[in-house]
Amino acid sequence: MAGDGAAPAFIILALVWFLVYPSWTRYRYKKHYRNFVKEQFKDYDNRSVSLQIEDEYIYAKDEGSESKTSLTEIQEISEIPSLFLVKIKPAQSLIIAKRNIDNEQDIKLKLQSLAKSLNVPFNNHLDWKWK
Any bridge partners for residue 79, and if so which? 84, 124
pTM for this model (two decimals) = 0.67
- What are the residues whose beta carbons fall under 8 Å from the beta carbon of 20, sequence distance 6 or more? none
**How is domain 46-124 classified at the CATH fold level?**
PH-domain like (2.30.29)
Question: What is the β-pairing status of strands 122-124 and 92-97?
Answer: unpaired
Give the Cα separation of 4 and 41 in Å (integer).
55
Per-domain residue ranges for the chain?
6-43, 46-124
Tens digits of per-residue pLDDT, 21-71?
A: 999 999 999 999 999 988 887 776 667 788 888 889 999 888 888 989 999
Section 78-94 average pLDDT: 90
Give the Cα separation of 85 and 70 in Å (integer).
16
Tell me what the pLDDT averaged over the chain comes to. 88
Question: Of 131, 107, 13, 42, nearest to 122 (Cα)?
Answer: 107
